[in-house]
Amino acid sequence: MALPSYILCSQSGVEDRTTGFLSHFHVIEKIRFSRTTLPASQVPMSQMWLCAVWLAEEQDIGKEFEFETRAFMPDESALEIGNGTFIFSSSTQHITFLLFGGVPINGPGMLRLRCQIRCVAGGEWISQEYKIIVEEFGVPSPAHLDEQGGSHAK
């Protein structure tokens, strides 16, 4: 039965076409956000690269597996990121997603990214999960900016 190797979330990454080795850049351990009144078109777009790596045992080579990947928000609501099938053709399988705009954070707490697989011919789901701390910070009020010597538009 296939085994989880690791799951990781970063701002970007790359897979070497020759060796199949992965590089992850700017691993995401924490997300800080502020509620804003800006129109969606003015909120800076970010991206997240989600990568789940699975190890095949000898009997898994050549077999078809299905996968499901979801994000669980701090309020426990779920967002499907993707699903599909693959066939183990070597000892490892990489399942990667590039999420433009990140995920729609709905409050502080813990963001959980879960990838699970199972053999299409039958079997239990095997899952692995990546957790990201989500913190909210406030936008300083105009009065607070004045106290600190800052400025604001009037």
Q: Which of 10, 16, 15 is nearest to 49 (CA)?
A: 10
More confident residue, 38 or 124: 124
Domain that holds residue 125: 3-32+46-147
In a domain, 14, yes or no: yes
In a domain, 116, yes or no: yes
In a domain, 98, yes or no: yes
The sign of the dihedral angle between the CA atoms of 14, 131, 83, 88 is positive
For residue 113, name the pLDDT band (cuts at 50, 70, 90): very high
The pLDDT value recorded for residue 44 is 47
Domain count, the chain: 1
In a domain, 40, yes or no: no
The pLDDT value recorded for residue 154 is 43
Mean pLDDT for the chain? Answer: 84
In a domain, 41, yes or no: no
Q: What is the CATH number of the domain that holds 143?
A: 2.60.40.10
The pLDDT value recorded for residue 42 is 43
Residue type at 101?
G
